[in-house]
Every structure is written in C-alpha cells, then in structure tokens.
Amino acid sequence: MLIIPERAEDVGHKVMSEKDKVKEAHLPKTGSECDEGSLKITDNCSGVSINDIMTTDIVIVVEEDSIEDVFELFKKYNFHIYPVVNSEGALTGLIDQDIILEMLLFDRIPRDKHTHLTAVRSLSENAKGIMTHHPVTIVPETTLYDAADLMMKHHINRVYVVDKEKLVGVVSKRDIINEVYRRRGLN
C-alpha cells in the first residue's frame, strides 16, 4: 500500500517525523536485514521439531480421578493447568486454575452468573465432569515455528503433544523461548 504523506493522517496512518526516523535507525534490524547474532532465528531454528524440546515428564489427571484428588494436585504442584487422559492414555481434556476456582467458590458466584456448564461442574464427582474438552494438540514432528504460531493464534501458553492419540509431551512458550535463546548462544 502506497501512503502519500499529505493524506496519511486522513486514512489513519502516522507520518514519521525526522525524530522518529532517527529513532528507527537505531532499532535492531529484522528479517533478511539481520546481521549474524541478531534476532534472526530462521537459519538456526528452521529444523527444530517439538520432539527435540518437549517435556515428557508430565503430571496428569485421569478422567476417573475424584475432584478432591484434582484439588490435591493443584495444592501439591505449582502448575496452572493439567492434562486429563482416559484409561488408554489418550488426551481428552484439560483442567486449569479457573475451573478449580469456579469449583471452590461456586456458592459465592452470583446466581445470575451461573451457566449450565458451571452447574454441571458443581455437581460433578470426577475430573471428566469438570474438564475442558478438545485441547489444542500437535504431533511430535511439528516444527518449533508452527507450535509458536499455534500458541499465538489461540492465545495459549502451552500445547500438548500427542502421538496416535496418546499424550506424549507438552511444550510451552517458555520452552520455545529457551530453545531459540540457546540456539542464538544467549543462554
């Protein structure tokens, strides 16, 4: 899109002043303009698969676990979210802190804020009854870039890795950031 300076403000674009141009000249370059050791990561990370960086030691919840068992997990470990698996090890859902707070404080929620889902969850006796269904998943061969894009697109901090419907790992934004930094030699 061509922006004519005289008309730029009319269409919502800001025209750069000389002062802005000086500031921009001191910013790090991006994309193909990057020098060695700058923010360019394409060459260093293009072949990285999630299988190389995922965490495989995962604390899980089984669908049949009681609500009290789930509460104990949140008390014992310092995680914000737990994957839920069925008896075959297939990922079926997630339980996060919001669900736990909703369960613990259900009687304090104003009645006009109750939804069908909160009512069903409040009556549930096991993890299957309170979990969020259809978690975002990837396969181990997914690239670091595709995983990062998926997390940003869905506004989530981690994705679960499944192989033949079985949960095999998890990768977080922090894992991706750490890997990029490691490959840039900044760790």
Please state, in angstroms and as integers, the Cα–Cα distance from residue 135 to each residue in 1, 75, 109, 126, 172, following that order: 39, 23, 26, 18, 14
CA 133 to chain centre: 16
Task: Encode pLDDT of 15-72 as tens digits.
Answer: 444 544 444 444 444 443 334 444 554 556 667 899 999 999 999 999 999 999 999 9
State the helix-helix crossing angle for 97-104 and 116-123, rounded to 10 degrees. 80
Task: Encode pLDDT of 141-186 as tens digits.
Answer: 999 999 999 999 999 999 999 999 899 999 999 999 999 888 877 5
Q: Domain 45-184 maps to which CATH number in 1.10.1060.10, 3.40.50.1000, 3.10.580.10, 3.40.50.1220?
A: 3.10.580.10
- The full set of domain ranges for the chain reads 45-184
For 75-97, what is the mean pLDDT? 94
Q: 57: number of CA atoms within 13 Å, CB side?
A: 0
Confidence of residue 124 (pLDDT cuts 50, 70, 90): confident
CA 110 to chain centre: 30
What is the reported pLDDT for 5? 41
Specify the pTM. 0.70
Q: Which residue has the higher pLDDT, 51 or 99?
A: 51
CB 50 within 8 A of CB 138: yes
CA-to-CA distance for 81 and 59, rounded, in angstroms? 10
CB 61 within 8 A of CB 72: no
